[in-house]
Structure 1
Amino acid sequence: MLSELAFTADDLALTRFAVSQMWEVVTSFRLLASGSAHPVHRPWLDQVRPRVAAAGLDSGWLADLVPSSNYLPDFLTPPPGEPAPALAAELAAIRATPADQVRADLGTLDGKSRGGARRRALHTDPGTQLTRVTEEIEAYWEVALAPYWAKIHALLDAELFRRSRQVAEHGSGHLFNDLHSTLRWDDNTLHLVRRRCGISRASTGPGLLLVPSVFAVHVFTWSRPPAPPQLAYPVRGIGTLWETGRVRRADAIAAVIGRSRTTLLIELAAPASTTDLARRTGISAAGVSQHLTALRDAGMVSAHRAGRSVLYARTAMAESLLTTS
């Protein structure tokens, strides 16, 4: 199957990139729901699957609205209005979705997979039920993505820098040809090859919104005029995302912030609770808690609730400190 998106000079001028936390929500949940042991994301899957199940998030709204294959409801991924909107802004856009759009998306979804009581309730009363949907998305984000966001965001930022440089050095045509094997630029037209989608310039608004995604396994399309079409595509470099390299300057860092705090930062290569950190480091739980509070106050650690426990994660500042050679 071949879909085509023709471009005028104005369409090229309106083409832009954006980072979307909601695209990471739906693509990561789809990966979880698939039950696969993804060769690259397996460390994340092994850590997150039990937490998502313990929180009951594997059988809630997202399970009903994000099937393991085929169509994703458009209202879950509203076009980002800025380069990197906060999750709260994207959730507000979801809650503001017109009722007829929600029902149209549900109609398409029900034609692809069997719906249940939640979908029927959403169809009957979108205004009320969308609030419940976004509340669950927030809970999922806190458990599954927020503790890892520093790593994810760094990779997405690197992708945006790489692509902007590519456009500056080689032009938009080279960019489109290099995004993904199913995309091809020819004669002012972007061709989507081997993709079962009906996207065309006649069914979209002007321009194009390109959304790199860490968890996307292929190109996803979104089109609803008058908004620009969206292409969410797999980001480059995910092979290094979950790697835990050796910290070369541990002694130098310890001389500044202390041995115990450096040890805790190194152990937080993957998010962990106070109990986990105490068991792995031999530091008392009270000592771990005290050090984490200091590191959090310094902006080097973030805290995220996961059921009855709290997961601590390194921030971008700490990642940079530990991984810069």
Structure 2
Amino acid sequence: MIRYVLQSVDVSAVRFGISPLTELGLGLRALRVPDALPLQRPWLQRIAPVRPLLDTEVLLALVNDSRRVADFVNPRPTSPLTAFDDELEDLARITPERLQGDLARVHGAVPSVFRGPHDQVVSRIRSALASAWELCFVPYWHRMRAVMQADITHHSRVASQAGIGAMLGGLSSAVTFDGRHLDVRLSSPAPRVRPVHGEGVTLVPSMFVARASTPLDEDLPPTVVYPARGQGAMWSTAERPDAGAVRDLLGTTRAALLAALGEPASSTELALRLGVTTSAVNQHLRVLERGGLLNRARHGRSVLYYRSDLGETLSGR
């Protein structure tokens, strides 16, 4: 377990971020131990044809059998809009001490594949990561990012309505917060205490974490990677309503939207769940709103829709 000790200034500095490189790094755990992340088996099936094109010797050496990943491929994101190319460029400047130290924490010693001139080793790592990103993540990144952004919207709404403590406690069963101590239960039983000291805590949703994860190096900025909410919607679409009067009245897509809005959701979330484009969802939502079946409210940069009383009655709720 690691305990982050927060002062009041640290609590106010808790923020969210999305890191493409972290998602790739954690995705290597699914390659190494596929059964550990059953929700991502469809992803593994989809990338199976391109796996022979990957530098798996390097990629799999970045993670061990216990699914610990080298910290330098799990960077702390600077914002929800962090770009993979920028993170890969930062990796080019890694020092030999940092590279070898991160690998030794994972394996106990530096694997042979990473021994040699530093510049050549870093170049091969970056090339392997760039290929993995292009082949295994780019085709699905818009869907992954949509899930993670919807997760951030949800937790931000919880924080605004119920407080930061309720939000932190709801990230994962492995995360608890008592007002000062943010405890993250990890596979390592040895307790660690890490004062935050004004650095803030960054919360990173991921598709490739079952409970929670933090940096292995305690000197790195406090970061908690937690399982993104709604992963089940990643590879499946919502069931369509049965044939009936509501469907005949509204049409299949609008009836499905009405049924899906039992709790507030953005058009991005709904598009992912129903398997249609966001622009099409927005058109249908506007019609349903004009018909008095939906209400909407702005939350940050997102517009959240939810059923009105008339919509509740029509949907049979």
- TM-score over 0.5 (shorter chain): yes
What secondary structure, in the 3-state scheme, does the structure 2 residue paired with 1:81 have?
coil
The aligned counterpart of 1:266 is none
Secondary structure in structure 1 of the residue aligned to 2:177? strand
1:320 corresponds, among 278, 282, 285, to: 278
The aligned counterpart of 2:259 is none
Return 142-151 or 188-197, whichever deviates more: 188-197
Structure 2 counterpart of 1:66, from 63, 67, 87: 63
Q: Which SS does the other structure have where 1:40 is aligned?
A: helix
| Residue type at the aligned position of 1:170 | A
Aligned to 1:236: 229
The answer for the alignment partner of 1:109 in structure 2 is 106
- The Cα of 1:106 is off from its aligned counterpart by 2.2
Matching residue of 1:51: 50
**Corresponding residue for 1:96?**
93
For structure 2, which runs of at least 5 residues remain unmatched after alignment?
Answer: 242-271, 285-317
Give the Å deviation of 1:173: 0.6
Give the secondary structure class of the aligned counterpart of 2:160: helix
Cross-structure match for 1:139:
131
Taking a change above 3 Å as real, the CA distance of residues 212 and 38 of structure 1, as seen in their structure-2 partners, is closer
The answer on whether the counterparts of 2:212 and 2:224 sit within 8 Å (CA) in structure 1 is yes
Matched, 1:220 2:213: yes
How many Å apart are 1:224 and its aligned residue?
5.0
Matched position secondary structure for 2:106: helix
1:153 matches 2:148? no
Could you state the TM-score of these two structures normalised by the residue count of structure 2? Answer: 0.70
TM-score by length of 1: 0.69
Q: Distance in 2 between matches of 1:201 and 1:39?
A: 32
Name the structure 1 match of 2:13: 14
Contact 2:174 2:185 in 1 (8 A): yes
- Separation in 2, partners of 1:110, 1:227: 19
For 1:23 and 1:165, how far apart are their aligned partners in 2?
24
| SS of residue paired to 1:200 | strand
With over 3 angstroms needed to count, the CA separation of the structure-2 counterparts of 1:195 and 1:34, relative to structure 1, is: closer
Structure 1 gaps of 5+ residues are 249-313
1:35 equivalent in structure 2: 34
Aligned equivalents of 1:185, 1:85: Cα separation in 2: 27
Distance 2:17 2:86 in 1: 14
| Change in CA separation of 1:200 and 1:97 when aligned onto 2, cut-off 3 Å | farther
Q: Distance in 2 between matches of 1:171 and 1:136?
A: 42
* Cα deviation, residue 22, structure 1: 1.2
Number of the residue aligned with 1:84 = 81
Superposed displacement of residue 231, structure 1: 0.9
Q: 1:323 and 1:245 mapped to 2: Cα distance? A: 14
Counterpart among 162, 165, 168 of residue 176 in structure 1: 168
Question: Are residue 209 (structure 1) and residue 207 (structure 2) matched?
Answer: no
Give 1:246 shift: 7.8
Counterpart of 1:80 in 2: which secondary structure? coil
What is the distance in 2 between the residues matched to 1:135 and 1:322? 38
SS in 2 for 1:201: strand
**Equivalent residue letter for 2:88:** L
C-alpha contact 1:223 1:229 (8 A) present in aligned 2: no
- Equivalent runs, 1:263-302 vs 2, <5 Å: none
CA distance in 1, matches of 2:199, 2:137: 32
Amino acid at match of 1:131: S
Change (3 A) 1:181 1:223: same
1:75 matched residue in structure 2: 72
Q: Deviations over 1:175-224 (max 9, x none)?
A: 11100001111141112235426543248872111100012222110165
Q: What do you get for the CA RMSD once the two structures are aligned?
A: 2.8
SS class of match (1:233):
strand
- Please name the residue that 1:305 is paired with: none
Is the Cα contact below 8 Å between 2:96 and 2:118 reproduced in 1?
yes
Matched to 2:70, the amino acid is: P
Q: Distance in 2 between matches of 1:83 and 1:42?
A: 26
- Matched residues in 2 for 1:83 and 1:39: separation? 26
Question: C-alpha separation between the residues in 2 aligned to 1:135 and 1:171?
Answer: 43
Structure 2 counterpart of 1:255: none
Displacement of 1:126 in angstroms is 2.8
Deviation at 1:30, TM superposition (A): 0.9
Q: Deviations over 1:108-144 (max 9, x none)?
A: 2231xx75431223xxx33332122111111001111
Deviation at 1:65, TM superposition (A): 1.2
8 Å CA contact 2:62, 2:69 repeated in 1: yes
Shift of 1:40: 2.3
| CA offset digits 1:23-51 (Å, max 9, x no partner) | 21012121122132854222211111232
